[in-house]
Amino acid sequence: MEGMKIFTANRRWDLPKFVANDIGVELGKISSKTFADQETWERFEESVRGERVFLIQENTPARNLMILQQMTDAAVRASAKEIVVVVPYFGWARQDRMKGRDCVSAKIVADNIVNAGADSLMSMHLHFPQMPSLIRKPWDHIYSAYCMIDWIKKLSMDLTVVSPDYGMAAMADFIANKLKMPLAILRKLRPDHNVALTKTEYLIGKVKGRDLVLVDDIIDTAGTLITTIMTLVELGAQRIFAAATHGVLSTPAKQKIEACEALERVFITNTTPDLPRKKSNKIERGSVHKVFAEAIKRIHAKGSIKELFEEGLFC
């Protein structure tokens, strides 16, 4: 596709490769180095002058955020016409509000990317949907709902879709409506960061005697996932499946998932790279490259991203 180039610093990540293949372009050449003192360095090995450049990159941990900023700065200095930063899983998004004397890391990270020279951003299923309002640049927010719907359909079961909290209720309701399945919503309390919920206040809907699919945006340590599943078992649920957009799966998430007899299978997408800690017979990984590829093509053609999901192209 003329006038467009796609780059990633992580050549082992399948998502950028699939996106480029779907669009019909080659991934651009970029050199990366890490020096003895752990400083990183990035350089484009081909011209980007006058091109619309899409940078598909992680922003966590902090090292990857630095690499992303260096790529963006390099594109600015190489005279790219426009720089679109694509961060499929936007890390730091859970640090989205001030409670007393907290830092708001979500805004710091977004500002850093913009200040490095990004003209616009694109992410999938932001933990805090209002995040695009933190910056004065366009930020396209796309969704994995149709990929989850596809996977749930393949289960060929009569399921109840469960939202673990109010934050996921809208997406869970969308999935339930598309699949014509019942919906249940849990009201939970969370005591602190990376600490599993300690109490479920009440349940909206019916789970007793039902097979369930629990949908969420992120599975990180899997503590909340497992505790929610145990609560659903106590409420009389039968078979339980889980689907999440972002399978961060920090240590020891895999071990927790494998040890949970009540959890049959987990679906995650490739918004983050595949790593040994994510490989398990219980964990299935699907690709969201078609959604990103179509969104990128529409941005390049000055088309509508909103209509992409209204048309239900990925159902």
Residues known to be catalytic = 188
List C-alpha distances in Å: 131 to 31, 60, 106, 141, 257: 31, 17, 8, 9, 30
Instruction: Strand 283-286: give its sheet, edge to edge.
Output: 199-204, 183-189, 159-163, 211-219, 240-247, 263-269, 283-286
Q: Which amino acid does the sequence have at 183?
A: L
Instruction: Strand 82-86: give its sheet, edge to edge.
Output: 4-7, 52-56, 82-86, 120-124, 139-142
Other Cβ atoms closer than 10 A to 49: 8
Burial grade of 222 (CB within 10 A; 0-12, 13-18, 19 or more): buried
What are the phi and psi torsion angles at 247 (to 5°)? -95, 80
Token duo for residue 259: 């040890």
